[in-house]
């Protein structure tokens, strides 16, 4: 910048190179529009979490055995990896699952490889089980790919086999899309070739399971035997023996001894059948074959949905019969489409309000110069965000809403200052160069302070931080873009098109405001008034803080939004048969459907789009993290609502509570009614972990703790539950080793025999032209569930001493005992843990509920060796609150350092910093007066944002007062030692305040008006307004509930901060300068 002419070089270059800047402007507009249209759309940001999931099946083993033999050995090796943050595991009957969470500085691919290496080391140990049916599955956990983006349901007058064929056709077509990561078919099972063995016929023929397995395996194979050279031609010799007909297996010879031939058909039935039922699926209680469709991370959800619609339409027209019914439910693209449209409309409405205010204050032409900063800044931001690979999600769009009013702040200051110089008679080009030059560094500093407020948020760690970080990143990008527009593009446009409008001899509203403000500020700076106003401001702050202490608002972690869906999670004790679970789930589905019929008009439900019931696979609660293994004891019912504006005023939250009341009271089963979380999983609102080594004692203590809390009847607790139970029934087979040894049998031989008899064993594969099917051997069902038959079965083996076949009944070497075991063994960071948890009912404060439980625990005796910790949502809430408080302090410190650099003084930054803290008065009184919730994430981010916004006007105001003082000193020919008199200083401050009143009011009003549509939930559909002359106006919605707390924190704080900027900041400036000049020579 030239000190002499007060020019800013970059802006002056822009004015001198208009054609170049015009081309840059066109590139920004075109590139921004293309970037915006091509950015993938989704509800929430992509979160790449370095989290690895290890799943190990070990059928036939209890939870304790799985923990001992599999989980602990894998955990021991994995725990040695550098960078592991947390290890959680669950061992259930026949299955081990381990979630390994890494620090975010490790890439998921590196984490995956490290875990694979450690699992290989564990498996190589001689004590690790060698009879696993499959090696551990090691996969990355992707937050965005865990939940289906839609269900596609097939039904009609067709057999399940036909529906399955149609589903598989769609599965193949959909999985070819680059946007889709996978499709799971629910409600129908894969087929198998079952060899169901007659126990008594097998024993009478002195045949063992191994004999049957070997006979089938040796026959069902093709073997390459080498090459034969014949007449100069080398031919491959291949023995083909794989079965072409599944029933041909019956004719296999199992035994041929002493002229006696035993065919498989003599001792077993062979049937090509469905495998044991793993899942059920229903729509409105009617059976369907369902496809769960999952999106690939980083892909466009809306494009994926559109392509799937095309596939379905094509299949219906040319592949499927007309009578096949296909429905699409729980389509997340609808939510994304609505969210994007609502936020886009909020931006458009905000732009209209902002430009309207600019028009009244600046006139049409000047308002246009300022308003153009909004689209240009946004388009430039879209180019950068698209280059960074960012999706267009709620974080990005709301960042634009927050920035909306701030985008014009720099432009207002530039345009207003240039216009003032032109109005004073300065030529257009000179006025443009000098006008921008006078305010360039102040607006750079003010923008820098705003960016400094958001900068600490980029360092936010953990899954919440990764979820929220695109808010500060987008704000930094878009506000930096607005600075570029103000200093490069705006000067070019001003120098071309700005004109001074001749003033009419009439008093305008702004003239009246300037007059009133001038008198009030002069009054505020007289006598003892400055001290009274400053003292009163601090007293207001202390009063607000005191009222917050005595009348605290409800504290929430995430905002409580209207439910888009209702989830009903049904869980029987582990070990419950899927048919039992299915029967209850169907009853609950019918209860819900009956209750929701009251929302029907002319037979059509105006509130609900679908009721989906699923049992078995794919029904676990997604907020609890990834799970593995079959879940025959679980069911999930999903109620999907219409859009908020179509609910005719019915609250989905009330419907959720009604459903909770309708289905309560089923004995012996856990039923949780909840809604999808807005954001990443945080755990239950009430979550107490009991940690120790003795699992029996842990579980006993957990049950005692649950009863102890229930006795206190703390309001707000939905229902306390344990994440495991000891009700898992089991039959213990105790082998007498001495007897067994004498008779030549081992514990392993007995265990494997029982496992094959009950669970079955996959021994080979039958291949047809389209698919491969497992061949499983097991006992017939009549023997599998007959305890006497099972335990009296004879172990058939060849005695190694005599070479003769021997048969030993299991009951001869073992006794049985009914027992009750743990349904699961859960571990966190290598310690055994049982969790007592609950949701908190709507209308209650989770923090208050937990505080009451914490106080109650003072009278609860914790056994030695155990510890109880509050975790889940409360743990994350405390962690994030601590970070945000620290971020606020860092932001204020950064702002202070920038101000010191800008003003080369410590007193001015102190004045502005005081105004930042005093702006909390508006936030606190706003929360108190309107009884709003204090939402940890949203309100705190709003306060941090406020810190950056408040300083902007103060910087420009004080910088201009300094400029007037410098001019005054030059006019009076004062040297460096002499100072202005108090009256002269007061005159300069009043003049500076009056001159800067218009930009200060404008910047505050534009920021507030930009946020107001979203804060109030004002929704106007501008697309339908233009195309159909129908605005589809409504108030409310999910966006206002989610983002409202942040918006209102900024609005309340900024409203009061405007008074601070216009009154308290000049007063503090005046008082500090009086102190500095005390005893110093003043002008005569």
For residue 538, is it within any domain? yes
pLDDT of residue 183: 92
Tokens representing 221 are 């194979």
Domain check: are 29 and 105 in the same one?
Answer: no
Separation CA 475–CA 471 (nearest Å): 6
For residue 1034, is it within any domain? yes
572-600 tens-digit pLDDT: 877 788 999 999 999 999 999 999 999 99
Query: Which of 48 and 478 is assigned the larger pLDDT?
Result: 478
Q: Is the pLDDT of residue 628 over 70?
A: no
Domain check: are 1043 and 903 in the same one?
Answer: yes
285-344 tens-digit pLDDT: 999 999 999 988 778 888 899 999 999 999 999 999 999 999 999 898 888 888 888 878
pLDDT of residue 4: 44
pLDDT of residue 428: 87
pTM above 0.85, yes or no: no
pLDDT of residue 58: 87
Q: Is the pLDDT of residue 803 over 80?
A: no
φ and ψ of 139, to 5 deg = -135, 160
Number of residues in the chain? 1084
Last residue of a domain, one of 821, 847, 870: 821
Separation CA 683–CA 674 (nearest Å): 13
Domain check: are 17 and 68 in the same one?
Answer: no
For residue 554, is it within any domain? yes
pLDDT of residue 226: 82
What CATH number does the domain containing 771 carry? 3.30.2090.10
Mean pLDDT to the nearest integer, 702-723:
91
Mean pLDDT to the nearest integer, 633-644:
92
Number of domains in the chain: 4
pLDDT of residue 2: 43
List b or e across 779-797, with b for residues whose CB sees 16 or more CB atoms inside 10 angstroms: bbeebbeeeebbbebbbbb
For residue 2, is it within any domain? no
HSE-CB of 542 using CA atoms within 13 angstroms: 6
pLDDT of residue 1: 45
What CATH number does the domain containing 636 carry? 3.30.70.1430
Residue 549, Cβ neighbours under 10 Å: how many?
Answer: 8
pLDDT band at 1079 (very low <50, low <70, confident <90, very high): low
DSSP category for residue 60: T
Domain check: are 533 and 566 in the same one?
Answer: no
> CA 314, 320, 325 angle in degrees (round to 5)?
100
Q: Is the pLDDT of residue 283 over 80?
A: yes
Domain check: are 587 and 615 in the same one?
Answer: yes
Q: Is the pLDDT of residue 943 over 80?
A: yes
For residue 760, is it within any domain? yes
For residue 848, is it within any domain? no
Mean pLDDT to the nearest integer, 25-30:
94
Separation CA 485–CA 374 (nearest Å): 9
Find, among 949, 1073, 937, the residue nearest to 1010 by Cα: 949
Strands, E assignment, 675-760: 686-692, 721-722, 728-735
pLDDT of residue 727: 63
Q: Is the pLDDT of residue 1078 over 70?
A: no
Q: Give the 3-state secondary structure of residue 990.
A: helix
Separation CA 449–CA 955 (nearest Å): 10
pLDDT of residue 668: 79
Last residue of a domain, one of 803, 821, 839: 821
pLDDT band at 256 (very low <50, low <70, confident <90, very high): confident
Domain that holds residue 771: 191-225+236-274+729-821
Last residue of a domain, one of 141, 172, 205: 141
pLDDT of residue 469: 87
Query: Which of 759 and 663 is assigned the larger pLDDT?
Result: 663
Q: Give the 3-state secondary structure of residue 198.
A: coil
Q: Is the pLDDT of residue 3 over 50?
A: no
Domain check: are 444 and 515 in the same one?
Answer: yes
Look at strands 670-674 and 565-571 and give their pairing: antiparallel
In the chain, the percentage of residues whose pLDDT exceeds 70 is: 96
Domain check: are 384 and 526 in the same one?
Answer: yes
354-411 tens-digit pLDDT: 888 888 877 788 888 888 888 999 999 999 999 988 888 888 888 888 888 788 888 8
> Please, which residues have CB within 8 angstroms of residue 103's CB and are 6 or more apart in sequence?
50, 83, 84, 85
Separation CA 988–CA 972 (nearest Å): 13
Domain check: are 613 and 741 in the same one?
Answer: no
Domain check: are 615 and 550 in the same one?
Answer: no
Mean pLDDT to the nearest integer, 964-982:
80
For residue 156, is it within any domain? no
Find, among 780, 784, 787, the residue nearest to 816 by Cα: 787
Domain check: are 797 and 943 in the same one?
Answer: no
For residue 572, is it within any domain? yes
Average pLDDT, the chain: 87
Q: Are 599 and 608 in contact (CB under 8 A)?
A: yes
Domain check: are 637 and 751 in the same one?
Answer: no
Separation CA 855–CA 853 (nearest Å): 5
pLDDT band at 622 (very low <50, low <70, confident <90, very high): low
pLDDT of residue 259: 77
Domain check: are 96 and 215 in the same one?
Answer: no
Query: Would you call 502 exposed, middle or buried from its count of C-beta atoms within 10 A (0-12, 13-18, 19+)?
Result: exposed
pLDDT of residue 370: 84
């Amino acid at each position: 910048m030239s000190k002499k002419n007060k020019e800013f070089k970059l802006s002056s270059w822009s004015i001198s190179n208009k054609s170049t800047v015009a081309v840059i402007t066109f590139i920004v507009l075109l590139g921004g529009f293309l970037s915006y249209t091509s950015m993938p759309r989704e509800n929430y940001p992509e979160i790449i979490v370095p989290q690895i999931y290890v799943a190990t099946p070990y059928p036939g083993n209890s939870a304790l055995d799985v923990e001992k033999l599999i989980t602990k050995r894998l955990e021991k090796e994995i725990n040695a990896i550098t960078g592991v943050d947390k290890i959680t595991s669950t061992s259930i009957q026949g299955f081990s699952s381990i979630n390994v969470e890494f620090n975010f500085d490790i890439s998921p691919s590196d984490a995956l490889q490290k875990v694979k290496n450690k699992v290989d080391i564990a498996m190589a140990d001689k004590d690790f089980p060698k009879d696993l049916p499959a090696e551990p599955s090691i996969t990355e956990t992707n937050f965005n790919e865990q939940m289906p983006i839609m269900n596609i349901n097939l039904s009609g007058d067709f057999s399940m086999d036909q529906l399955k064929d149609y589903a598989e056709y769609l599965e193949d077509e959909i999985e070819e899309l680059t946007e889709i990561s996978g499709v799971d078919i629910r409600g129908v099972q894969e087929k198998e070739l079952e060899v169901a063995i007659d126990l008594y016929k097998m024993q009478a023929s002195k045949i063992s399971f191994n004999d049957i397995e070997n006979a089938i395996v040796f026959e069902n194979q093709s073997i390459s035997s080498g090459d034969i050279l014949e007449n100069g031609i080398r031919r491959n010799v291949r023995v083909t023996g794989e079965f072409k007909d599944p029933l041909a297996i019956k004719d296999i010879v199992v035994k041929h001894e002493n002229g006696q031939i035993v065919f498989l058909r003599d001792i077993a039935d062979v049937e090509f059948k469905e495998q044991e039922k793993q899942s059920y699926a229903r729509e409105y209680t009617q059976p369907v074959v369902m496809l769960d469709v999952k999106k690939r991370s980083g892909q466009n959800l809306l494009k994926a949905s559109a392509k799937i619609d095309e596939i379905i339409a094509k299949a219906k027209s040319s592949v499927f019969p007309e009578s096949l019914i296909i429905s699409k439910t729980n389509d997340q693209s609808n939510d994304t489409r609505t969210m994007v449209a609502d936020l886009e409309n909020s931006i458009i409405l905000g732009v209209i309000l902002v430009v309207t205010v600019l028009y009244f204050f600046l006139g049409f032409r000047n308002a246009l110069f300022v308003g153009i900063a909004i689209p240009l800044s946004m388009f430039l931001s879209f180019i950068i965000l698209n280059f960074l690979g960012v999706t267009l999600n709620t974080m990005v769009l709301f960042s634009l809403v927050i920035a909306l009013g701030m985008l014009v702040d720099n432009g207002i200051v530039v345009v207003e200052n240039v216009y003032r110089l032109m109005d004073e008679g300065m030529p257009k080009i000179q006025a443009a160069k000098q006008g921008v030059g006078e305010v360039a560094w102040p607006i750079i500093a003010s923008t820098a302070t705003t960016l400094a407020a958001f900068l600490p948020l980029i360092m936010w760690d953990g899954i919440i931080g990764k979820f929220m970080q695109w808010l500060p990143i987008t704000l930094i990008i878009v506000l930096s873009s607005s600075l570029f527009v103000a200093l490069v593009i705006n000067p070019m446009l001003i120098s071309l098109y700005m004109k001074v409008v001749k003033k009419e001899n009439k008093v305008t509203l702004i003239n009246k405001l300037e007059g009133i403000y001038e008198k009030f500020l002069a009054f505020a700076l007289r006598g003892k008034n400055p001290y009274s106003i400053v003292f009163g401001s601090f007293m207001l702050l202390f009063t607000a803080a005191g009222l917050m202490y005595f009348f605290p608002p409800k504290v929430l972690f995430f905002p409580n939004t209207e439910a888009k869906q209702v989830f009903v999670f049904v869980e029987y004790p582990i070990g419950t048969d899927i048919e039992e679970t299915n029967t209850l789930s169907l009853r609950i589905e019918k209860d819900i459907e009956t209750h929701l019929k009251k929302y029907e008009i002319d037979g059509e439900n105006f509130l609900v789009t679908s009721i989906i019931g699923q049992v078995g696979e794919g029904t676990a609660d997604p907020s609890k993290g990834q799970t593995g293994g079959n879940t025959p004891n679980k069911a999930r019912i999903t109620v999907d609502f219409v859009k908020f504006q179509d609910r005719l005023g019915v609250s989905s939250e009330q419907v959720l509570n009604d459903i909770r009341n309708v289905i309560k009271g089923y004995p012996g089963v856990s039923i949780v009614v909840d809604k999808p979380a807005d954001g990443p999983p945080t755990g239950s609102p009430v979550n107490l972990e009991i940690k120790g080594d003795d699992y029996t004692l842990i579980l006993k203590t957990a049950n005692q703790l649950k009863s102890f809390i229930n006795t206190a009847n703390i309001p707000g607790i939905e229902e306390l539950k344990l994440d495991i139970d000891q009700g898992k029934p089991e039959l213990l087979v105790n082998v007498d080793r001495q007897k067994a040894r004498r008779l030549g049998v081992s514990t392993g031989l007995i265990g494997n025999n029982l496992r094959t008899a009950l669970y079955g064993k996959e021994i080979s594969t039958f291949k047809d032209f389209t698919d491969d099917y497992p061949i499983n051997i097991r006992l017939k069902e009549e023997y599998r569930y007959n305890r006497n038959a099972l335990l009296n079965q004879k172990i058939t083996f060849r005695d190694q001493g005599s070479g003769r076949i021997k048969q030993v009944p299991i009951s001869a070497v073992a006794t049985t005992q009914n027992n009750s075991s743990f349904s699961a063994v859960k571990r966190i960071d290598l310690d055994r843990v049982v969790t007592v948890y609950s949701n908190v009912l709507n209308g209650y404060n989770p923090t208050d509920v937990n505080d009451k439980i914490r106080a109650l625990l003072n009278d609860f005796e914790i056994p030695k060796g155990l510890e109880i910790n509050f975790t889940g949502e409360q743990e994350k809430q405390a962690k994030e609150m601590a970070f945000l408080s620290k971020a606020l302090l860092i932001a204020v410190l950064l702002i202070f350092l920038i101000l010191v650099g800008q003003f080369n003084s410590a007193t001015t930054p102190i004045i502005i910093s005081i105004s930042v803290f005093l702006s909390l008065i508006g936030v606190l009184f706003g929360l108190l007066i309107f009884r709003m919730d204090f939402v940890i994430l949203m309100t705190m981010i709003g306060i941090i944002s406020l810190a950056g916004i408040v300083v902007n006007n103060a910087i420009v105001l004080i910088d201009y007062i300094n400029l007037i003082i410098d001019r005054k000193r030059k006019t009076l020919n004062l040297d460096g030692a002499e100072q202005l008199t108090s009256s002269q200083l007061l005159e300069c401050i009043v003049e500076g305040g009056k001159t800067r009143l218009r930009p200060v009011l404008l910047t505050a009003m534009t920021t507030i008006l930009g946020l107001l549509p979203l804060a109030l939930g004002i929704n106007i559909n501008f697309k339908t307004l233009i195309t159909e002359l129908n605005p589809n106006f409504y108030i409310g919605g999910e966006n206002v509930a989610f983002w409202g707390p942040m918006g209102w924190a900024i609005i309340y704080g900024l409203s009061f901060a405007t008074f601070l900027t216009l009154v308290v900041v000049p007063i503090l400036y005046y008082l500090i300068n009086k102190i500095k000049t005390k005893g110093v020579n003043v002008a005569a």
